[in-house]
Amino acid sequence: MEQALIPSVPDSIGYIYLSRQRLEAYRSLGQVISMKVIGILAIDASAPPDLLVTTLSSLTVYGAIIASPTALAALTPHLKHIGFVLEQNHD
């Protein structure tokens, strides 16, 4: 399936939960997104690193990220982050 690049999803303010199901929906549609969050971004601990990398072209977070160490490692090349990280130890 050919990937359609979406320049960005709407900027989000507050607490944003990025679920595995949402990421799988983007991937099934062949969409690659760019996301900006001001506040807290929590990434589903069950989302595999390859799913994160294939659906997120860039991620900017001004605030906190709650994610597993594996997810953080996978996202590092795509991530611009100002704030702090709370790691989930579910790996």
User: What residue spans define the domains of the chain?
Assistant: 4-87
Distance CA(40)–CA(83), nearest Å, equals 10
Report the SS3 class of residue 11: coil
Residue 18 DSSP one-character state: E
| Nearest Cα to Cα of residue 56 among 29, 31, 81, 73 | 31
Chain segment 36-48, per-residue pLDDT in tens: 999 999 999 999 9
pTM here?
A: 0.80
- The stretch 77-86 carries a mean pLDDT of 81
Question: 53 falls in which pLDDT band (50, 70, 90)?
Answer: very high
Chain segment 1-34, per-residue pLDDT in tens: 444 544 446 678 889 999 999 999 999 999 898 8
- Our separate counts of H helices and E strands in the chain read 3, 5
